[in-house]
Amino acid sequence: MGADRIDRVRRIAAAHLGHWGLERQTGPLGKALAELLGNVVRHVGEDAPCTVELRLSGRRLTVSVADTCTTMPRRLPRGGGLARIGVLCDSWGSCHTESGKVVWCTRRVDLPQGAAGLPGTPQPLLRGARPCPPPAVSVG
């Protein structure tokens, strides 16, 4: 994954954040995502497969990158990628998976009022639909 693909993934993530009404997070989370992806390139390989996930849970926005390497990341004293992620985000961590590891970072976010399309906010599909009747109970 070269710099052009990392930029492309950042733009895709920014579009998702914009859809959720979280445009203010595109800067810090885009930089953190670039660091996570850069770590995959540096420590696993440029052509190594990885999976990116954005997750909004309550007021926490998490960006995670899973790869196939089982070596866990460590924070280096010279202020490398994880140190920068620590500055950009409220927390970060990593854990082993069946196929390698996942590294994530999390930021507290202020949710926009009435933002459409936020995960976990069901939108009505039908207007004027009546609720289903309660299930019949058999007494035997």
Provide the number of structural domains found in the chain.
1
- Asked whether residue 10 is assigned to any structural domain, the reply reads yes
Is the pLDDT at 13 greater than 90? The verdict is yes
Average pLDDT over residues 70-76: 84
Average pLDDT of span 91-114? 90
pLDDT of res. 34? 94
Count Cα atoms within 13 angstroms, Cβ side, for 47. Answer: 0
Task: For 87-110, give one letter per residue: b (16+ CB within 10 A) or e.
Answer: ebbeebebeeeeebbbbbbbbebe
The CATH code of the domain that includes 27 is 3.30.565.10
What does the radius of gyration of the chain's CA atoms come to, in whole angstroms?
20
* Residue 133, domain member (yes or no): no
d(CA 79, CA 85): 10
Task: Annotate 123-132 with b (16+ C-beta within 10 A) or e (fewer).
Answer: eeeeeeeeee
